[in-house]
């Protein structure tokens, strides 16, 4: 048995899925490099414990400035999955999503359904969920290939009693939802494993796990920021044809993800909604009609963006780009053809409430408090009030971005334009930003005893905790509550290894000591 290659057996997916669905661990007599008997989440976790963290690889100079392994052969040695397992869960995911999206009666534009979404090269859609009063939802920000934090987050759900005591992948409470806010890959080196575990969660809990699309769920972005390199290097023993086929399925996976989710609760006559997305506001899409529609209407395709039309309805706001001009001067009405054009995936918010909104070429709008409130109000009605936004995305290092400073001083959940609170209350205009997972590029400390000598290696802030937001709905907005959960991933990992007689980090991974 070779612990340096913790690869799951080719039949692992079927056993893991079956185990979680029936509530009992399954067994197999088929041998593998790591697993020989029980095939369940515990085995997946134990396999992950055999590989180093991104932080360990970064400290010992195994990661380049693009957050990729310097030695591309190491991807194959550190993978947790076979290509067959990964492709199996992709196929299962497609079946689950086809079933969820198939019914045209659940679409506001009833001529659209799953077949139309997927046949189109790009047809973004919005999703709506109406929750029972006092029901709970957990929201999670960027993962960026951080499998260690995702595993810890799954275990935390079990500790809270949200998932089964026998299978931490199975959500027990039918009213509970688990929402991931995008950016699952890039800037880390276990994007394939993160996608695998997320899709598995979705397949086991089809209606309760929501995977929202981020700006890195885009083939044009993943080809630049590491995931495409990771994928083809990890499965280099498979034929190029097989890898290309599977990678095309990953690109199709992106198209199945909603670009925005509206999470609502209240009474029969009035409901409050939070916009859950990766980036920010998209002024070209007004969800007013969607939010007012019947609770049975769950989806709405976004086949046209009325940015110019909607911006003219707002108060005369100025935006600074190359010049300070009225907002509508930066807008046009158009049919979106790329994720790059969606504010839901790309736009940001200003920390300073009084600062003038701006437009950044190659990034999108950065909105202030006044425009944010105006857009939320324009989407609201007597029956359905859009009260705020929960999102991720904005984690540029703090020496260039005040948002990161606010995140790190607010337990990983930045509440804009008001004092930070450990237990969050909700008011009209609430905007919450969640911190990304720690075991990826932006989580590394500026001075991590790294031999990386470039300025980039010292610009990150360094933090060791993973952040989730537990939301509880109420009859009125004043009754809604949010609680920040911090999970100290590295500490838990250290506790595990301290309980064993194990080699040092450098001995375990045969990492050369940095030269003086």
Res 502 pLDDT > 60: no
Q: What is the pLDDT of residues 113-161, one digit of tens each?
A: 655 666 567 889 999 999 999 999 999 999 999 999 999 999 999 999 9
DSSP code, position 171: B
Residue 306 phi, psi (nearest 5): -100, 60
Domain range summary for the chain, segments of one domain joined by + = 51-509
What percentage of the chain exceeds 70 in pLDDT?
Answer: 82
Q: What is the pLDDT of residues 48-84, one digit of tens each?
A: 988 999 999 988 889 988 899 999 999 999 999 999 9
Bridge partners (DSSP) listed for residue 107: 299
- Look at residue 18 in the predicted model and tell me its pLDDT: 43
Extract the runs of DSSP E, i.e. beta strands, from 396-455. 413-415, 423-425, 430-434
Q: What is the pLDDT of residues 456-477, one digit of tens each?
A: 444 566 889 999 999 999 999 9
Order of strands, sheet of 358-360, starting from the edge strand that comes earlier in the sequence: 324-326, 318-320, 358-360, 364-367, 348-349
Q: How many angstroms separate the CA atoms of 385 and 371, rounded?
A: 16
Q: What is the pLDDT of residues 277-316, one digit of tens each?
A: 999 999 999 999 999 999 999 999 999 999 999 999 997 8
Res 4 pLDDT > 50: no
When mean pLDDT is compared over 337-341, 439-443, 449-453, the highest value belongs to: 337-341
- Look at residue 41 in the predicted model and tell me its pLDDT: 84
Thinking of the domain 51-509, which architecture would CATH place it in? 4-Layer Sandwich (3.60)
Q: How many angstroms separate the CA atoms of 250 and 254, rounded?
A: 7
- Look at residue 40 in the predicted model and tell me its pLDDT: 72
Q: Distance between terminal CA atoms of the chain?
A: 35
Q: In which band, very low, low, confident or very high, does the pLDDT at 395 lie, cut at 50, 70 and 90?
A: confident
Determine the average pLDDT of the residues in 208-218: 98
Q: How many angstroms separate the CA atoms of 60 and 37, rounded?
A: 34
Q: Which of 193, 235, 145 is nearest to 12 (CA)?
A: 193
Q: In which band, very low, low, confident or very high, does the pLDDT at 6 lie, cut at 50, 70 and 90?
A: very low
Bridge partners (DSSP) listed for residue 388: 274, 430
Determine the average pLDDT of the residues in 158-184: 95
Q: How many angstroms separate the CA atoms of 49 and 43, rounded?
A: 10
Q: How does the average pLDDT of the chain come out, rounded?
A: 85
Res 509 pLDDT > 80: no
């Amino acid at each position: 048995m070779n612990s340096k290659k913790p690869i799951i057996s080719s039949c692992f997916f079927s056993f893991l899925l079956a185990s979680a669905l029936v509530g009992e661990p399954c067994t197999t007599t088929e041998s593998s490099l790591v697993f020989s008997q029980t095939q369940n989440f515990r085995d997946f976790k134990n396999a992950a414990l055999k590989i180093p963290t991104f932080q360990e690889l970064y400290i010992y100079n195994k990661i380049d400035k693009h957050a990729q392994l310097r030695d591309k052969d190491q991807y194959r040695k550190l993978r947790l999955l076979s290509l067959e397992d990964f492709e199996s869960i992709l196929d299962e995911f497609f079946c689950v999503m086809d079933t969820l999206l198939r019914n045209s009666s659940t679409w506001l534009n009833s001529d659209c359904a799953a077949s139309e979404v997927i046949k189109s090269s790009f047809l973004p859609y919005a999703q709506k969920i109406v929750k029972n009063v006092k029901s709970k939802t957990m929201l999670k920000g960027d993962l960026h290939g951080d499998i260690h934090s995702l595993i810890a987050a799954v275990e935390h759900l079990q500790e809270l009693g949200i998932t089964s005591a026998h299978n931490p992948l199975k959500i027990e409470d039918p009213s509970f939802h688990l929402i991931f806010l995008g950016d699952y890959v890039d800037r880390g080196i276990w994007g394939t494993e993160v996608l695998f575990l997320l899709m598995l969660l979705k397949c086991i809990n089809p209606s309760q796990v929501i995977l929202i699309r981020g700006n890195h769920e885009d083939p044009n972005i993943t080809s630049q920021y590491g995931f495409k390199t990771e994928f083809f290097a990890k499965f280099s023993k498979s034929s190029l044809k097989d890898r290309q086929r599977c990678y095309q399925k990953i690109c199709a996976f992106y198209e199945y993800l909603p670009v925005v989710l509206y999470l609502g609760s209240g009474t029969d006559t009035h409901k409050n909604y939070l916009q859950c997305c990766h980036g920010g506001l998209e002024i070209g899409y007004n969800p007013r009609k969607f939010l007012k529609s019947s609770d049975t209407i769950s989806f709405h395709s976004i086949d046209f963006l009325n940015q110019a039309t909607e911006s003219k309805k707002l108060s005369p706001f100025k935006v600074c780009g190359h010049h300070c001009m009225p907002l509508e001067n930066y807008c046009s009405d158009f049919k979106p053809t790329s994720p790059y054009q969606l504010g839901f995936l790309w736009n940001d918010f200003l920390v300073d409430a009084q600062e003038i909104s701006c437009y950044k070429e190659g990034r999108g709008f950065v909105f202030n408090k006044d425009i944010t409130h105006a857009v939320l109000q324009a989407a609201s009605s007597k029956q359905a009030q859009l009260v705020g936004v929960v999102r991720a995305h904005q984690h540029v290092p703090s020496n260039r971005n005040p948002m990161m400073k606010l995140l790190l001083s607010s337990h990983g959940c930045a509440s804009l334009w008001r004092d930070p609170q450990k237990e969050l209350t909700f008011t009209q205009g609430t905007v919450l930003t969640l911190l990304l997972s720690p075991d990826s590029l932006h989580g590394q400390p500026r001075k991590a005893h790294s031999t990386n000598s470039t300025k980039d290696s010292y610009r990150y802030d360094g933090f060791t905790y993973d952040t989730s937001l537990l939301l509880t709905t109420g009859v009125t907005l004043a009754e809604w509550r949010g609680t920040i959960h911090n999970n100290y991933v590295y500490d838990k990992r250290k506790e595990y290894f301290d309980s064993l007689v194990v080699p040092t980090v450098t001995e375990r991974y045969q990492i050369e000591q940095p030269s003086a």
